[in-house]
A and B are shown apart, each in its own frame.
Chain A
Amino acid sequence: MDFAFTEEQMMFKDQVIRFATREIVPRAQEHDLKGEFDFKSFRRLGEFGVLGLHFPEGLGGSDADVVTTTLAGEALGEAGVDGGLSLAYGAHTFLCADTIFAHGTDTQRGKYIPKLCSGELIGCMGLTEPGAGSDVASMTTHAQKREDGYVLNGNKMFITNGPIADVAVVYAKTEKDQKHTGISAFIVEKGTPGFSAGKNLNKMGVRSSHTSELIFDDCKIPKENLIGQERAGFLMAMQTVEWDRSALMAPFVGGMTYVLNKCVRYARERQQFGRPISQFQAIKHKLADIKIFIEAARSLVYRIAWSKDQGKPLNHLEAAVAKLFIGDWSLGPANDAVTLHGGYGYCHEYDVERAFRDGRLAPIGGGTSEIAKMIISKLI
């Protein structure tokens, strides 16, 4: 066993932290409070290379391995980038771009990947529906096959980047009567007649990411927009799980390090009863619990990343364990961080409040904790 990162990996992580601290973090609070997407920061992520890190150089990426990509996610969180921007990045890069890259044709790759890497285009992915959340196979969005393409009808719900996306990867049933095996994946571009996005949903957290419904009303798309084979969509959606449980979860873990650092600073400065509150046992125990969570969660995420780098098939048990642990066990420490800050912790100006709201998505998004438990209980 060896838990070491390479020197290059650690240097890169530091670079990302420095870049994000300088250019992105100062803008995070404003965008969170207004609930506005930070286009400028997103574009800077692209220019810096974060958005396309793991794609081949020829397509505008950096050929990074999965561990390095995951480190970049952790670095964003650790620097203090809000959960909204991290989520927008995750949905864009791993749920949209990677699906096109992994299953698309060379033409599709060439057309979309370089611009998704640079951030010129913003991507989203539509799987969930108003009536089909955890029960993915019950989706009703239909792709009717015509001679020259497909006609999409149906609604997608809670789509990260929905209102701002230029490119959407959309899952729809080509075989209405079938469940998982009837699902196919398509690329739908913004502006396609019959395709529109609903208004930005007002959310508890990850507020700088925009979330909306996607509406397909006799939306005609050419047959070239099918990704891979018909009826292979469910497997594609499941393949994003590896990324979801490593690179996409990493900002949550890094974010808790940021929260811990905030708590440490506050506890040292805040004086009560004639001494810094960092000297009280109750405060120290909270700091310890946050630290324990971070260290416990970290290995789970890197195990998935490392396994993918080794070319091992996804271990669904390990992936669900990582999702469940980070989702459910992070809430206590995030709550502790707010409590530790007292009245200030309850105010918007303090980042722990934002982290608390952002973190609440972890047990819901990308497969709920309950779904993780279903998967685990079936596999053990």
Chain B
Amino acid sequence: MKKGCYVSEKEHYPLGEHARESVRSRTGRPLSDLTMENLRAGKIDADDLGIHPDTLREQASIAEEAGFPQLAANFRRAAELATVPNEKVLAVYEALRPYRLTYEELLALADEVELEYDAVENARFIREAAEVYRKQGLV
């Protein structure tokens, strides 16, 4: 992503207009690769359509600067999840629903996402949930 020292984040937005050439998909392919020709030739698969964590972080900076700090935090958690497999994402969501896991299991889950996927923010979020769930009797 092009980043001038004095350019505000908002100036990059929309990336589709200002940074289309430099944006890459989750698999590292440039956006310009995602063409009908490549699709016809069988050179694109579903993973190529994922958003890259860096792009989510860029969107987080844009949101933060525009006065949407909670949305920015969400994008930063999302950036961590971008590389987590679908089934694991579904499993973590399920685990965070009420009465699914014990307090200890929730903490273990937090450790797992932190160690295995480097999802620090999400791990912190799960630990926070574990504390509240325990206090409110939702574990």
Task: Please determine whether chains A and B interact with each other in the same assembly.
Answer: no
